[in-house]
Amino acid sequence: MAEIKTLEALEILDSRGNPTLDVTVTLNNGVKATAKIPSGASTGKREAMELRDGDKQRYSGKGVLKACGYVEGEILNAVRGMDPNEQKALDSALCKLDGTANKSRLGANAILGVSLASARAAAKDRGVPLYAHLGSDTDYILPTPMLNVLNGGRHADNSVDFQEFMIAPVGAPSFRDALQAAVETFHVLKSVLQLKTYSTAVGDEGGFAPELKSNEEAIELILEAIDKAGYRPGEDIAVMLDPAASEFFEDGGYVFRKSDQSRKKPAEMVALWREWLQKYPAIWSLEDGLGEEDRQGWQQLTRELGDQIQLVGDDNFVTNPELFRQGIQDGIANAILIKLNQIGTVTETLECIALAQEHGYGAVISHRSGETDDTSIADLAVATGVGQIKTGSASRGERVAKYNRLLAIERELAGKARYAGAGVYSRWRKPFAVGKP
């Protein structure tokens, strides 16, 4: 049996230049594996807690030396000798050691570092790729990528309230072709922006972040780029949104502070989404269309639009099996966003995905806006066969690293994997379906 022998934690930097953890597990047989931890900006209120030092003398309080210390001290003492193949036992020991509901004592960053590095070590020990270790080895599905090509909200200093405007190459026959279509569109979008003398500087997730006149203009520009790149909007390439509405939900209403200062009631926000879907049938997915605290709004949104479009819950579920179970019961959303560091262990993450699959919910594996070159989420998407991943645009190394990993997996699985494509969305694509009747 392989056993965890040592843990090392290093304070490294994420893609925004903030400290984060790099955790290396060494097994008694000499096998070593590392995981690097991402960090969000538009975080859900009930996410597991990321432990920061709070020492204003270092990195404005954002250092993670305490978390590193816990990994090499208390956590190592508790998990030394454990079998990294027993992920559930390991993760439950980590949760127990922490002892809080939101992992705030040792930090979800410290705990996930150990949980994920151990999974990687177990895979190496077995001599299999991470996707094969975490999943069953039949019927692999390569995910449809959702590339965040226009950034607004908290991820960009511009006048766009909505955080993410994504393109998803749903009509391609393979992952490789899909990525090509999306990337070509990204480059055309750059020239479309240049023609209009907009900035083509990129935001945190590698998408462009121009000073647009309105939120709708973002959609119009993307549709123009898809068309100019030689693809059909809503057939070859669909549009997917994550407005991250919790960020502009204030006192029971939605305030468009970055654009026209208007304010909408929850029912008006639902009406706005209905209008957008009717006007832009190429939109196939809407994440966090309403705020995490607006449960009634979410129920209304799900009732009214839930059989026509994918409605993804991010801030409201925060990859937490308990919150997700409650949400399913309450008729909220029809898909979940999956972020390992929102909950802090591999086991609880897999539990959420299993819950989604059991209840007919979709699942989208996701990066964070602060990332590293760790590519585990690409493997997680293939392992679980959820068929969707969002990991930024076609620029910035930490974003394309995940897409590059998927290209490598596709080649490795030649003939043994299929590309998810449009199939994942077929259960929701009803009245607004595009194309010929």
Is residue 405 part of the contact set for ligand PGA (CB under 6 A)?
no
Contact between 242 and ligand PGA by CB under 6 A: the answer reads: yes
User: Which residue in the list 205, 287, 348, 371 is annotated as catalytic?
Assistant: 205
| Closest separation in Å from C-beta 242 to Zn ion | 4
Q: Tokens in use for 352? A: 């959420």
Which residues, numbered 40-59, are part of the site for ligand PGA (CB under 6 A)? 40-43
* Length of the chain in terms of residues written: 437
Q: How many angstroms separate the CA atoms of 172 and 272, rounded? A: 30
- Is residue 398 at the binding interface for ligand PGA, with CB under 6 A as the rule? no
Of the listed pieces 19-27, 206-214, 225-233, 363-371, which binds ligand PGA according to CB under 6 A?
Answer: 363-371
Q: Nearest 5 degrees, angle CA 192-CA 371-CA 220?
A: 20
Q: How many residues bind ligand PGA (CB under 6 A)?
A: 11
Binding to Zn ion (CB under 5 A) within 269-298 occurs at 288
Which residue, 320 or 366, is less far from ligand PGA as judged by CB?
366
43 binds, among Zn ion, ligand PGA, none (CB under 5 to 8 A by kind): ligand PGA
CB of 287 to Zn ion, least distance (A): 5
Q: Does 393 bind ligand PGA (CB under 6 A)?
A: no
HEC sequence for 150-217? EECHHHCCCCCCCCEEEEECCCCCCHHHHHHHHHHHHHHHHHHHHHCCCCCCECCCCCECCCCCCHHH
Is 242 near Zn ion (CB under 5 A)?
yes
How far is the C-alpha of 302 from the C-alpha of 228, rounded, in Å? 34
134: part of which helix (H) or strand (E)? helix 130-134
How far apart CA 48 and CA 69 sit, in angstroms, is: 19
> Which range, of 39-47, 105-113, 172-180, 213-221, touches ligand PGA by CB under 6 A?
39-47
Residue with the closest Cβ to ligand PGA? 40
State how far the alpha carbon of 429 is from the alpha carbons of 119, 239, 345, in Å: 36, 13, 33
For 116, phi and psi rounded to 5 degrees? -75, -40
Is there binding between residue 314 and Zn ion (CB under 5 A)? yes
CA 267 distance to own-chain centroid: 27
Does residue 8 have an active-site annotation?
no
Nearer to ligand PGA, 367 or 405 (CB): 367
Catalytic positions: 205, 339
Residues that bind ligand PGA (CB under 6 A): 40-43, 242, 244, 314, 337, 366, 368-369
